[in-house]
Amino acid sequence: MSRTVTVGFDGSRESLAAVDWGAEEALRRRIPLKLLHVWSKDEERRTHVDPATARGWGERTLRITERRLRRRHCGLSVVTAWVPGDSADALCAAGDESELLVLGSRGLSGLAGFLAGSVSLAVLARMRRPAILVRAHNAPAPGNPRPAGDVLLGLDVYSPSDETIEFAFTAAERYGCRLHVLHSWQMPAVHGPDMAGLLPTLLADIGQERQQALDDALAPWMEKYPAVPVFRRSSQGRAAQDLAEASRDARLVVVGRRNRRARIDTHIGAVTHGVLHHSVAPVAVVPHD
């Protein structure tokens, strides 16, 4: 693995936001930024442009973007690459060799959220390294590289991922902000009139058990990162919906994706899929075993 932040770039407004977001991230990590433009067969069929012409356009756009970044970010190391091939394959290969992959994502029309296309979903489903999806409005403004807000982590307390937790704590430490950890749980089905009277007690017991499990899961990480203020909340609800709502006040949402040998390429889990579609803030997807 090389220490770079790689950004998938195609000249669109969303990918330009990803470039600006990735540039700030590379500066914070003190590592180079790589801009990758992939020319796929689908684009060739859709635009009727031959590869030689497409390469000329792509490399020119990369040079213009590189010059803009160098003017805006003194000291940023930038490399560029134009490659033909399958978009998902090329992005996965580059991302797996990078410290972080950043992709642009279109917003849902009229709604606050992501429209994660087939390429993005295929990349996220196969990545072995963390990837971040950024929307056009997430681009940092010059002189204000990061908006206010917490790093928001969605956590399954009974199957916590060390990789996902560490990514969230490290991000909060790097940004100098608070870490907000959210665990949502649903009430198991109860039947019969005799259970109705026990429901408040049952809810209280489950809530206490889940909060204790959340505290236990975070305790060693809070000791490892004592400078990171942590707000933790366990509540009854739906994880994807609760994270999407909380993302309005976040600068970054962090979710995990379990590595699976699935027959369907875009198997990323229901919660992660829901967060990707509806989060207002950029979303970091951290793969783990």
Convert the pLDDT of each residue in 68-88 to its tens digit: 999 999 899 999 999 999 999
So what's the pLDDT on residue 202? 81
Tell me the per-residue pLDDT of 165-186, one tens digit each, with 9 for 90 and over: 999 999 999 999 999 999 999 8
Give the strand order in the sheet containing 131-134: 78-84, 33-39, 5-8, 100-104, 131-134, 283-288, 250-258, 150-154, 179-185, 230-236
- Residues comprising the chain, all counted: 289
pLDDT in tens, 123-135: 988 999 999 999 8
Question: Residue 143: which pLDDT band, with cuts at 50, 70 and 90?
Answer: low
The answer on pLDDT for 142 being more than 80 is: no
